[in-house]
Structure 1
């Protein structure tokens, strides 16, 4: 899919909102696809794009992955065409621990990703806000978390708040929450979302026109 197509879908998603897209997903798929409301350095910024993933695990000093570092896995995850992608970080079982901050995630700005969805906390909200991309996470952290969780693998399926996200799935997040849409069904879900929006508008108009009982 071209960057122009992604920009069009991003604009449509921002207008429709997360709840409408979740309703549409429920009509097309039976699996859980919604994530409850998250925290952001700038909640006015919506996030949309295809997922690239890094799986976290609890830290162990005896595993070779303990010495790999975030940067190497980031490069593996984003590949040769990172612009517009959404970096998804799993929790590694510790959603209340920092999984990154303004320094580490400056790579997101440099490579022009759409932003970050983290199933953990992030540090340096002011710096992340200044970077200009959208960040959604479990809240702000103050302490480094590298002695509790470690990035373990890139480009694999991850679990975020009970939702399975595979590389290439489309992620949308706003102040209401987040939704994960399989790439192959993206247009169908958006078509259903337009129907949901029209049906809701019709229902509101009908309810507003109802006469109160005598």
Structure 2
């Protein structure tokens, strides 16, 4: 069983939250790995799994990519084993525009994916809430965004929320923010995060036992 599918790992992550993972990444790597808090139709539903990426770009009607639909990019991104993966959508410079909605993203639930992360907006929060996936984005949109941005490439390295995301990187997101963990570092980062969480618990007890100065 992979780390992503392991209920024990997922339970530990949910109990720790994002902050210890971000601190652990700072100890293991020197690059930026965190995103500030995003919005979700289900803010109590954390997101965890390996990334499958789609890069969006500003719409241009003269490029062949403008004729390629979202479904083609989606299936190229997720490959033959989509279950448990996180669909990561780069905003293409338009974080206030819708990058998908309940109908288009119903494919995620159909294929057992964990959810979606984007620094753009999403539509149809009610549908996304009922779908069972975790969805984290810059906010809810009401207007279709296909005349402003277009899916341009799939299964490539993308920039999301100021962070470099490569296919296969592990994504964790909750109400406090998100973190991107290189797949080869996952075990080390999880161990480091658990140690940080234990350190924090000890510090909290020490502070609780402090006496007022005499």
- Specify the TM-score bucket, using the shorter chain as the normaliser: over 0.9
- Give unpaired runs (5+ residues) of structure 2: none
Question: Within 5 A, what are the aligned runs for 1:73-152?
Answer: 73-152=73-152
Contact 1:35 1:161 in 2 (8 A): yes
CA contact (8 A) 1:89 1:119 kept: yes
Tell me the C-alpha RMSD between the 2 structures: 1.2
Q: Specify the alignment match of 2:207 in structure 1.
A: 207
Structure 1 unaligned blocks of 5 or more: none
Deviation at 1:5, TM superposition (A): 4.9
- Alignment of structure 1 residues 9-24 onto 2, 5 Å: 9-24=9-24
Query: CA–CA distance in 2 between the matches of 1:211 and 1:4?
Result: 43
Counterpart of 2:41 in structure 1 is: 41
Contact kept? 1:58, 1:150, Cα under 8 Å: yes
In structure 1, what is the equivalent of residue 192 of structure 2? 192
- Residue pair 1:3, 1:84 contacting (<8 A) in 2 also: no
Offset at 1:11? 2.1
- TM-score, normalization by structure 2: 0.97
What is the number of equivalent residue pairs in this alignment?
Answer: 214
Answer with 3-12 or 163-172: which moved more. 3-12
Change in CA separation of 1:77 and 1:200 when aligned onto 2, cut-off 3 Å: same
**Residue deviations 1:84-121 (CA, integer Å, cap 9, x gap):** 00000000000000000011101111111000001100
Query: Which residue does the alignment assign to 1:59?
Result: 59
Q: Is the 8 A contact 1:35 1:177 kept in 2?
A: yes
**Counterpart Cα distance in 2 of 1:142 and 1:104:** 14
Partner of 1:26: 26
> Cα offset for 1:142?
0.2
Q: Contact 1:10/1:49 (CA < 8 Å) preserved in 2?
A: no
